[in-house]
Chains A and B, each alone.
Chain A
Amino acid sequence: MDFELNGAQQMARELFSGFAEKEVKPLAAEVDEEERFPYETVEKMGKYGFMGIPVPKEYGGQGCDILTYVLCVEELSKACGTTGVIVSAHTSLCCDPIMKYGTDAQKARYLPALAAGKSIGAFGLTEPGAGTDASGQQTKAVLAEDYYILNGSKIFITNAGPADIYVVFAMTDKSKGIKGISAFIVEKGVAGFSVGKKELKMGIRGSSTCELVFENCKVPKENLLGQEGKGFGIAMSTLDGGRIGIAAQALGIAQGALDETVKYVKERRQFGRSISAFQNTQFKLADMKTQIEAARLLVYQAAKAKEKGGRYSTEAAMAKLFAAKTAVSVTTQCVQLYGGYGYIRDYPVERMMRDAKITEIYEGTNEVQRMVISSSMLK
């Protein structure tokens, strides 16, 4: 197992961290406070190829490995959890399935704009009645000559609203159960497709999370992604990759919180000395650093497993489970170390704590990750 980053990956990390420091960090508080989607950041990221890191060069992407993409999400998330998830959802949940399951025509049509960040991507699986149990898809798709007619709704869709391209799942044959679910590429502006209300969230408040509403929505039949009936498999395998992205986001949030806290405890003085002189503080910092480092190794391992080809669901699930728990635990402890100031919105740690929580829930709750891991053990 080689845990070292090679020279190019190390340089890529410096690129991402420099960008995050200069372009993302200054906006993070405002993006959270105003619940504002940072369009200007997405435009900049698109210009520099951050929106298509693993997309092949022939489709306008950067052609880099998964680990480089993970480094990007990690560094962005250190500064701003919202910005990290925008890239993660766009790349893992929209670019990836099109790359893997799309026809040449679909790839040529959608990937270049997605990779340049000119189109933003999203993934519509979750429904009011189908969350952890994703199989209960109520949204229907009926083939009528040259179109599939979609009816139904999706909920809690990340990037919905700003996104132009949506990978959406619907039931084409109810009698076949999960083998009757299919995947579609739905473009914004198609008749019968609208984005519903934007959710008011605890954290990642700049991320746009909305309903998708399909009312006799006509999707061209060329937009079927993969084969009819294979949609559930596409969704699950896409989520495996998505989990690595979210694990990277959680890792970044935790590291960002720890970095800020180390600076703070050196400066804060009580009882006549810096609070970093107290063993309570020191031990907490040590434990958090160790936890984050363990999470990092799991995340990078999952990225390398995916890169290698072959199955990586268990690695991805372990990475996401551990990184998410780490993010929640570390950010909560960081707020505590800041004392009263940690609760005040002038300081970034309370935002990081609010941002961290979602990583235990979306793209598969902690419980789902445990199901994936244990089922691989109990075959």
Chain B
Amino acid sequence: MNIVVSIKQVPNTNEVRLDQTTGTLIREGVPSIINPDDKSGLEMALKLKDKLGAHVTVITMGPPQADAVLKEAMAMGADDAVLITDRAFGGADTWATSSTLASALRKIPYDLIITGRQAIDGDTAQVGPQIAEHLGLPNISYAESLELADGYAVVKRQYEDRIHVIKVRLPCLVTALGEYNTPRYMTPGGIFEAWEEGRIQVFTRSDLSVADENIGLKGSPTRVKKSFVKAVKGQGTVVTMDPEDAAVWLTDRLKEKFIL
């Protein structure tokens, strides 16, 4: 049983702060982490390794320093790691990213592919299903849990107000929800083993069979036209009103902020 988990190194966007004076994001000193949904997916895979002796490979597409997430994953118990890195892959939207990852996956044996539902920097939730499309695999998104038996996966798939229990034949792709599989810690011994030479295989552009028009910035159907910071959080507004007016005022504030 071969399981491949696709993980992403992301800045911990919960820690990013706004510089009040310049109105820009303070990105320095923000720690990089394994994307939480991906880490949960990795934990799903490691549980299957514990239970069934599955072989777990982790892959990531990113700059060279993304090898840190692969080391962390191996220190948690993943067996192998592949770093997919090349300048040519940079600037990719989800089409180009998923095309690149799919082409790497064609070189790795898999019965099951697990990705996180979404990354906390991009927040699109698109790459997982798109990888499945490129590979012609069924995908089950928003997985709370995953069991394997007799060549099938049984997944609890989450919707807003219900769960579908879905049975799907392997190979397939599953996107994992962050809240459901508390990731295990690394072990100290695992860390040192992960840092040994030669543990991480590297795929660059020349290692992958994928068309130029499907990768990187040039291969991206969508582009960012502009980006801007939301209104700087200055001194808040305090009002003294009649309760009826206050209730309306507060509700309007919730609407403004898309909470309502």
With a cutoff of 8 Å between Cβ atoms, the chain B residues found around residue A57 in the complex are 189
Q: Let me know if A48 and B195 touch, CB within 8 A.
A: no
Residue of B whose beta carbon sits closest to that of A72: B188
Q: Let me know if A53 and B185 touch, CB within 8 A.
A: no
Closest CB of chain A to B186's CB: distance in Å? Answer: 5
With a cutoff of 8 Å between Cβ atoms, the chain B residues found around residue A15 in the complex are 75, 185-186, 188, 191
Of the candidates B186, B189, B194, the one having the most CB atoms from chain A within 10 angstroms of its own CB is B189
Closest CB of chain A to B7's CB: distance in Å? Answer: 16
Answer whether residue A202 sits at the interface, using C-beta atoms and an 8 A cutoff: no
Listed stretches A62-70, A169-177, A300-308, A359-367; interface member: A62-70
Contact of B185 among A6, A8, A48, A64 (CB under 8 A): A48
With a cutoff of 8 Å between Cβ atoms, the chain A residues found around residue B72 in the complex are 11
Docked complex: B91-121 residues within 8 A CB-CB of A: none
Q: Mark B178-218, 1 if CB is under 8 A from A, else 0.
A: 00000011111111101100000000000000000000000
With a cutoff of 8 Å between Cβ atoms, the chain B residues found around residue A6 in the complex are 195
Of the candidates B75, B185, B190, B194, the one having the most CB atoms from chain A within 10 angstroms of its own CB is B185
A7 and B192 alpha carbons, distance in the complex (Å): 9
Answer whether residue A19 sits at the interface, using C-beta atoms and an 8 A cutoff: yes
Q: Let me know if B187 and A49 touch, CB within 8 A.
A: yes
Q: Let me know if B188 and A62 touch, CB within 8 A.
A: yes
Answer whether residue A338 sits at the interface, using C-beta atoms and an 8 A cutoff: no
Answer whether residue B71 sits at the interface, using C-beta atoms and an 8 A cutoff: yes
Closest CB of chain B to A15's CB: distance in Å? Answer: 5
With a cutoff of 8 Å between Cβ atoms, the chain B residues found around residue A61 in the complex are 189
With a cutoff of 8 Å between Cβ atoms, the chain A residues found around residue B190 in the complex are 49
Q: Let me know if A8 and B189 touch, CB within 8 A.
A: no
Docked complex: B72-104 residues within 8 A CB-CB of A: 72, 75
Residue of A whose beta carbon sits closest to that of B196: A8
Closest CB of chain A to B190's CB: distance in Å? Answer: 8
Count, chain A residues at interface, CB 8 A: 19
With a cutoff of 8 Å between Cβ atoms, the chain A residues found around residue B186 in the complex are 11, 15, 48
Closest CB of chain A to B251's CB: distance in Å? Answer: 33
Answer whether residue A214 sits at the interface, using C-beta atoms and an 8 A cutoff: no
With a cutoff of 8 Å between Cβ atoms, the chain A residues found around residue B184 in the complex are 48
Q: A11-B71, A11-B72, A11-B75 are in contact. Are A62 and B195 (CB under 8 A)?
A: no
Closest CB of chain B to A59's CB: distance in Å? Answer: 12
Q: Mark A220-253, 1 if CB is under 8 A from B, else 0.
A: 0000000000000000000000000000000000
With a cutoff of 8 Å between Cβ atoms, the chain A residues found around residue B187 in the complex are 48-49, 62
Q: Let me know if A11 and B185 touch, CB within 8 A.
A: no
Q: Let me know if B195 and A63 touch, CB within 8 A.
A: no
Q: Let me know if A49 and B188 touch, CB within 8 A.
A: yes
Answer whether residue A12 sits at the interface, using C-beta atoms and an 8 A cutoff: yes
Answer whether residue A50 sits at the interface, using C-beta atoms and an 8 A cutoff: yes
With a cutoff of 8 Å between Cβ atoms, the chain B residues found around residue A53 in the complex are 188
Q: Let me know if A19 and B185 touch, CB within 8 A.
A: yes
With a cutoff of 8 Å between Cβ atoms, the chain B residues found around residue A62 in the complex are 187-189, 192
Q: Let me know if B188 and A64 touch, CB within 8 A.
A: yes
Q: Let me know if A63 and B185 touch, CB within 8 A.
A: no
With a cutoff of 8 Å between Cβ atoms, the chain B residues found around residue A18 in the complex are 185
Residue of B whose beta carbon sits closest to that of A65: B192
Closest CB of chain B to A56's CB: distance in Å? Answer: 10
Closest CB of chain A to B76's CB: distance in Å? Answer: 10
With a cutoff of 8 Å between Cβ atoms, the chain A residues found around residue B189 in the complex are 49, 57, 61-64
With a cutoff of 8 Å between Cβ atoms, the chain B residues found around residue A12 in the complex are 188, 191-192
Docked complex: A308-327 residues within 8 A CB-CB of B: none
Closest CB of chain A to B121's CB: distance in Å? Answer: 20
A53 and B188 alpha carbons, distance in the complex (Å): 7
With a cutoff of 8 Å between Cβ atoms, the chain B residues found around residue A50 in the complex are 188
A62 and B192 alpha carbons, distance in the complex (Å): 9
A11 and B196 alpha carbons, distance in the complex (Å): 13
With a cutoff of 8 Å between Cβ atoms, the chain B residues found around residue A8 in the complex are 191-192, 194-195
Of the candidates B187, B188, B189, the one having the most CB atoms from chain A within 10 angstroms of its own CB is B188
Residue of B whose beta carbon sits closest to that of A11: B191
Of the candidates A15, A19, A50, A53, the one having the most CB atoms from chain B within 10 angstroms of its own CB is A15
A379 and B185 alpha carbons, distance in the complex (Å): 48
Q: Which residues of A are in contact with B by a Cβ distance under 8 Å?
A: 6-8, 11-12, 15, 18-19, 48-50, 53, 57, 61-64, 68, 72
Apart from A11-B186, A18-B185, what 8 extra A-B contacts exist at CB < 8 Å? A6-B195, A11-B195, A12-B192, A48-B186, A48-B187, A61-B189, A64-B188, A68-B192
A–B pairs, 7, beta carbons within 8 Å? A8-B191, A18-B185, A48-B185, A49-B187, A49-B188, A61-B189, A64-B192
The 10 closest A-B pairs by CB, nearest first: A62-B189, A8-B195, A49-B187, A62-B188, A8-B192, A64-B188, A48-B185, A11-B191, A15-B186, A8-B191
